[in-house]
């Protein structure tokens, strides 16, 4: 609908933007930081409680965020859900607003430029460091297998290259993402035509694989992060994008709807907190819990995304701001490098584990945490702006970069 000359700001205030959903920057940043928190905790065992005298009137004297610290890895599911949301959103826009989408060739070229350069850098660097450190001593065959499977995004097909790789452990997520990319253009077209049927099929296949095979394996950690167990996560991300585009095409922002969105976001935050608490309470059975509740957790994540996206602007500003956008710009490299860097920083302290760091005292725990945080952010910034973006522009041959 054309904007009237006497109402120059009406569209910017009341329309729903489906090209850039600003709150996703904050949600992505928060998700990566929670994962980072978990991996840092593994290396330091730092478990502070935060005093809250301003909440004494509610009977809350301190906040002890043990659930997010111990189960922060669950936010990897949030990042994959966001990926599905962002990838499908142009197709959802096309469904309801008749806007064009990239050709299949352009889609793959953009995805390659977005993730492969930084991925290859971290794979080669961490591989050759492991080689220099003697990780592959007397295991030349495994060294070749480790490198080749990571270069071909097939490390998840083998238990040894998934569980015992010398290459940084977090890159398994990129393998899952690439698997999703390979089927996405055709999956998206099918979802456009039959959204409810394809959504149900993705959910059923994922749940059937989890309960029909994954739970029957004696060692659940080899199955918890298989591609098919993530189908419900991708399904909820795509459906959230579909619903958001449908809403944007039919409804302008209204106070009552925005308030409902805010309430949904708050409720989803509470649900996520309860689910994280449930996971933390299971102790050694956390991976069993993760497989069992992955679909439920992703549904809560999807509700959080939708709720924030349609909430009132002041509420959206919690996650849609310059700080969130700045962190979001470097989250990919922050995710790829933080865990490996923190492990090597812990080793530089002469500690073999987080327990050793804890034994050195709280001062050492905080020192390592602060150094690790500063190092991870510095490396992420340098690689993002000094390597990833220039290489991506070269691949795409433009100056605008990619999303």
Q: What is the pLDDT along the chain (403 residues), one digit of tens a residue?
A: 333 333 333 334 456 777 889 999 999 999 999 999 999 999 999 987 666 677 667 666 666 678 888 899 999 999 999 999 999 999 999 999 888 999 999 999 999 999 999 999 999 999 999 999 999 999 999 999 999 999 999 999 998 999 899 999 999 999 999 999 999 999 999 999 999 999 999 999 999 998 887 777 767 678 889 999 999 999 999 999 999 999 988 877 788 889 999 999 999 999 999 999 999 999 878 988 999 999 999 999 999 999 999 999 999 999 999 999 999 999 999 999 999 999 999 999 999 999 999 999 999 999 999 999 999 999 999 999 999 999 999 999 854 545 4
- What's the Cα-to-Cα distance from 25 to each of 316, 333, 356, rounded to whole Å? 11, 15, 36
Residue 51, classed as helix, strand or coil, is strand
CA distance 55 to 17: 37
C-alpha 136/C-alpha 132 separation (Å) is: 9
349 close to 391: Cβ distance less than 8 angstroms: no
User: pTM higher than 0.85 for the full model?
Assistant: yes
Distance CA 402, CA 201 (A): 31
- 243: Cα separation from own chain's centroid: 21
Distance from C-alpha of 402 to C-alpha of 397, rounded to nearest angstrom:
11
Contacts of residue 200, defined as CB under 8 A and 6 or more positions apart, other chains included, come to none
End-to-end CA distance of the chain: 26
**Which structure tokens are listed for 45?**
């065992």
């Amino acid at each position: 609908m054309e904007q009237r000359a006497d109402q120059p700001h009406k569209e910017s205030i009341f329309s729903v933007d489906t090209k850039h959903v600003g709150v996703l920057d904050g949600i992505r940043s928060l998700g990566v930081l929670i994962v980072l928190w978990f991996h840092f905790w593994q290396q330091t065992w730092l478990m502070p409680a935060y005093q809250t005298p301003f909440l004494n009137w509610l009977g809350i004297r301190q906040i002890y965020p043990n659930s997010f610290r111990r189960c922060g890895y669950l936010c990897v599911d949030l990042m994959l859900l966001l990926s599905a949301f962002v990838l499908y959103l142009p197709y959802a826009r096309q469904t309801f607003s008749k806007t064009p989408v990239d050709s299949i060739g352009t889609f793959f070229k953009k995805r390659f430029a977005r993730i492969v350069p930084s991925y290859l850098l971290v794979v080669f660097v961490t591989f050759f460091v492991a080689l220099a450190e003697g990780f592959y001593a007397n295991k030349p065959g495994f060294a070749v297998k480790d490198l080749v499977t990571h270069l071909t995004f097939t490390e998840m097909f083998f238990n040894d290259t998934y569980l015992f790789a010398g290459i940084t452990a977090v890159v398994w997520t990129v393998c899952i993402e690439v698997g999703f990319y390979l089927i996405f253009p055709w999956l998206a077209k099918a979802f456009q035509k039959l959204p409810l049927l394809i959504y149900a099929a993705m959910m059923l296949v994922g749940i059937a694989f989890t309960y029909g095979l994954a739970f029957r394996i004696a060692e659940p950690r080899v199955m918890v992060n298989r591609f098919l167990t993530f189908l419900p996560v991708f399904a909820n991300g795509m459906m959230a994008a579909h619903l958001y585009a449908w809403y944007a095409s039919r409804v302008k922002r209204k106070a009552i709807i925005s308030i409902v969105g805010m309430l949904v976001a708050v409720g989803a935050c509470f649900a996520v907190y309860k689910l994280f608490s449930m996971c933390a309470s299971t102790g050694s059975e956390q991976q069993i819990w993760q497989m069992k509740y992955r679909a439920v957790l992703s549904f809560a994540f999807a509700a959080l995304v939708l709720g924030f996206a349609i909430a009132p602007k002041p509420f959206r500003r919690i996650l849609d701001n310059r700080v969130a956008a700045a962190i979001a710009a470097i989250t990919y490299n922050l995710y790829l490098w933080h865990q490996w860097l923190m492990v090597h920083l812990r080793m530089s302290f002469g500690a073999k584990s987080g327990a050793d760091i804890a034994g050195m005292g709280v001062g050492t725990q905080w020192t390592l945490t602060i150094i690790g945080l500063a190092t991870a952010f510095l490396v992420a910034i340098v690689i993002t702006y000094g390597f990833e973006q220039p290489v991506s522009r070269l691949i795409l041959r433009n100056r605008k970069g990619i999303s």
